[in-house]
Structure 1
Amino acid sequence: MASIKTTPSGTFQLSVKNKLLPKTFWATFDTFEEAKRYGQQLDGLLAQGIVPASLLEPRKGPSTSWSLKRCIAEYVRANTLPVSETKLLGTIENQMLGVTSANMNFEWAESWIRTMKRQLNLAPSTIRHRHGALARCLDWILRTRPEILAQNPLRLLKRGFAAYSVDDERHVLANGGTVKVDTERDRRLDPEEEERVLAVLADASPERTFFILALETAMRMRECYTLLVGQVSTKKRTIHLERTKNGDDRQVPLSTPALALLAEYMSANADHIAKREGRLFPFWSGDASVYVLDATTADLSAKFKAHFTAAKVEDFGFHDLRHEATCRLYEKTTLSDVLIAKITGHRDLRMLKRYASLRGSDLAARLW
């Protein structure tokens, strides 16, 4: 039975006594809600006769704990994940060799975050991405194999865990590192810059169509270059995307300029598209292996960087087109955040708002 008491330091100490446990279990939490939630979860497991491996005393014989490598492998095998998430989990796995479910506790979670700051010197956004990928993996383990993991310690971290603390800053600077902070990318494409880029791109060329399509739809580069003619419906004025970066399908509506552009492009390039087995653009071979996709992305990024440089558009990359397109959705429509998220594919509205940085002059023009 779980009970909670307040400590002199203001934290909350949970104790659980049960005949299935070798001894009384103790744990300390920052908030009463966290302690209560974990206590209820543990009581529920014990009522079913399930004792999490992390709470058992070391014993001889086969262990019921899983290595982190196995947790990730089982999660990847049983779930359809975006390529980016699979790669991210592989990076995490290599970083934490030897970790098992038996030692995945709050201290381990804090230690991992601290390592990413003090030793790897990663940016807060990178830390959040890695944390999110592994947290989703452990959520699945918790749901499907509760005897392996009693709780997901990554979910117990305080909000803002990825920011560098004063101690983190002191440690990083003492070892020659750089204190990383969150920076919101707000580079916009001015109308004059857009005209210069279009002047550099040849009329009716795949690069010109590719550029305008990204600017009109807020689609990611990979979503654009892997497009098949069957995904485009001129009748419905939509592009259907399957298994996007977030693992979801979505329908992208086409503006009038985008619809006219694609209709003209597909008509003029019908023979070439047929020879490419329906691929709209010639940049990708059709090989869906991670290596080929990454290489295609890198090649296209470099190609458009050269185009932007030729157009004298500095400090601008292809991904900035997605930011610009999302801003224009805010400026040119009255769509809500939720509806814009359906177009752009953002799951987290907080992340979407980072793209919605409107020009100060545009905001000022709306004032009395």
Structure 2
Amino acid sequence: MATIVKTPSATWKAVIRKQGWPTASKTFRTKRDAEDWARGTEDEMVRGMYVRRTLSEKMTLEAALRRYLLEVTPSKKASTQKAEKTKAEPLIRLLGKYSLAALTPDIVAGYRDKRLNEPVRTKLKKDSLIIPGNVSANTVRLELALLSNLFTVAIQEWRIGLPQNPVANIRKPSPGPGRNRRLSPEEKIRLLKAVNAYHNPMLGWIVRIAVETGMRSSEITTLRRHQVNLKKRVVTLSDTKNGERRSVPLSTLATAAITEALDNPARPTDTDLVFFGEPGKDDKRRPYVFSKVWNDMKKKLGMADFRFHDLRHEAVSRLVETGKFSDQQVAAISGHKSMQMLKRYTHLRTDELVELLDKANADSPI
């Protein structure tokens, strides 16, 4: 049975001493609140469901996310670290003042709905620019995934008393159908002509390699000379998005591009990067950065909606369209771990499918 006492400050303190459980106590403004808490807590103890919530009631979500970014995030890949810091910002802005114990499924669902109706903002040097359209469902889904992982770590590793993960009990936004932007034959000609004419030849080599291999931008720009075997026409990637080592076969065009890059007469002697940038303030060279010139070039070509990552879609789809590779072989080249993920990247052109149907009917007429 709980003990309810009035304190010198005119509040009410409930104290529970039950065999097999640590002493639990809490102070309330009214005696009724103290009795209700004591009754509910004793009931949880009887059912073996009692969790000490002291830490979870004191720690705000902002403090928990700061700790997560300091202790957990640094163990992940650099790209993931940057992404998690970005995802934490709206969570802190909208939910940061809540304690972990106060975050219920209803509150998290409210966050989901509010974010889905927020306009997109992009940061400039001083202010933020509002872009037409709302935050995407996939962005919100990834933010909720970070929040869910935070609660899992808090419960399992930090031993903060929480009865449940509130994110587990709400509906998550659908990731959507994914992009299906492809280059038209005319766009491909104009794009390759523009990048090849740029004064720094590394841009043209990078784009050509992306079109021929389906490699990601980060996989190409971080390439080092020891990863390239021109004799076998293979590039070995050790730091991939899914964390697994991958060997990428090179077509004749990709081999030619990498050969030209390795023979670059402007190559400095202080780096083994295939695509190198200028030294930083610490005198260290980092990978070649081409995002600004790429974006400016797209706008001039009337292809502002085309992303560099769409070259990966293009390359993988072209491999499938040849009909010479199985799904498993395409996945081995592209690095996709599941056929479902591979399917999102392969968007076959309808007119080419029609040609294949006609050919099939001609080969075996009824």
TM range (shorter): 0.5 to 0.7
Q: Does structure 1 residue 219 correspond to structure 2 residue 180?
A: no
Structure 2: distance between partners of 1:76 and 1:305:
34
The gaps in structure 2 that reach 5 residues or longer are 1-18, 22-39, 120-133, 362-366
The code of the aligned residue for 1:264 comes to T
Q: Does structure 1 residue 305 correspond to structure 2 residue 316?
A: no
Q: Which TM-score applies when normalising by structure 2?
A: 0.65
Structure 2: distance between partners of 1:295 and 1:255:
21
SS at match of 1:239: strand
Question: Corresponding residue for 1:199?
Answer: 193
- 322, 325, 328: which is aligned to 2:315? 325
Structure 2: distance between partners of 1:348 and 1:122:
27
What aligned pairs does 1:150-229 form with structure 2 within 5 A after superposition?
A: 150-158=163-171, 161-162=172-173, 182=176, 184-200=178-194, 201-202=196-197, 205-229=201-225
Distance change in 2, residues 1:296/1:58 (3 Å): closer
Q: Deviations over 1:210-251 (max 9, x none)?
A: 11111112222233223222232334543333444x461432
Conserved in 2, the CA contact under 8 Å of 1:53 and 1:64? no
Question: Corresponding residue for 2:252?
Answer: 257
Q: Does structure 1 residue 109 correspond to structure 2 residue 121?
A: no
Question: Corresponding residue for 1:94?
Answer: 92
Conserved in 2, the CA contact under 8 Å of 1:68 and 1:99? no
Distance change in 2, residues 1:78/1:228 (3 Å): closer
Deviation at 1:325, TM superposition (A): 1.3
Conserved in 2, the CA contact under 8 Å of 1:305 and 1:316? yes
What aligned pairs does 1:282-361 form with structure 2 within 5 A after superposition?
A: 282=276, 284-285=277-278, 296=289, 298-305=291-298, 309-310=300-301, 315-332=305-322, 335=325, 337=327, 340-346=330-336, 350-361=340-351
Deviation at 1:279, TM superposition (A): 2.0
Q: Does structure 1 residue 363 correspond to structure 2 residue 362?
A: no
Conserved in 2, the CA contact under 8 Å of 1:69 and 1:93? no
Deviation at 1:324, TM superposition (A): 0.9
Deviation at 1:326, TM superposition (A): 2.0
Conserved in 1, the CA contact under 8 Å of 2:59 and 2:100? no
Distance change in 2, residues 1:63/1:324 (3 Å): closer
Relative to its length, the structure with more strand (as a share) is 2
Q: Does structure 1 residue 272 correspond to structure 2 residue 251?
A: no
The gaps in structure 1 that reach 5 residues or longer are 1-17, 26-41, 164-180
Deviation at 1:154, TM superposition (A): 2.0
Q: Relative contact order (C-alpha < 8 Å, sep 6+): which is higher?
A: 1
What aligned pairs does 1:75-154 form with structure 2 within 5 A after superposition?
A: 75-80=72-77, 82-95=80-93, 96-119=95-118, 121-154=134-167
Distance change in 2, residues 1:85/1:240 (3 Å): farther
SS at match of 1:328: helix
Distance change in 2, residues 1:250/1:133 (3 Å): farther
Conserved in 2, the CA contact under 8 Å of 1:135 and 1:152? yes
Structure 1: distance between partners of 2:294 and 2:286:
12
The code of the aligned residue for 2:97 comes to G
Deviation at 1:357, TM superposition (A): 1.5
Conserved in 1, the CA contact under 8 Å of 2:217 and 2:308? yes
Structure 2: distance between partners of 1:278 and 1:57:
50
Q: Deviations over 1:294-325 (max 9, x none)?
A: 9935324325425xx34x65743323212211
Distance change in 2, residues 1:295/1:92 (3 Å): farther
Give the alignment's Cα RMSD to 1 decimal: 4.1
SS at match of 2:209: helix
Deviation at 1:360, TM superposition (A): 0.8
Structure 2: distance between partners of 1:99 and 1:288:
41
Structure 1: distance between partners of 2:327 and 2:215:
17
Structure 1: distance between partners of 2:108 and 2:160:
19
The code of the aligned residue for 1:162 comes to P
Conserved in 1, the CA contact under 8 Å of 2:224 and 2:274? yes
Q: Which TM-score applies when normalising by structure 1?
A: 0.65
Structure 1: distance between partners of 2:96 and 2:288:
28
Question: Corresponding residue for 1:70?
Answer: 67
Distance change in 2, residues 1:304/1:132 (3 Å): farther
Structure 1: distance between partners of 2:269 and 2:310:
32
Identical columns (%): 24
Q: Deviations over 1:125-182 (max 9, x none)?
A: 2212222333334334444234444433323333xx326xxxxxxxxxxxxxxxxx94
Structure 1: distance between partners of 2:135 and 2:177:
13
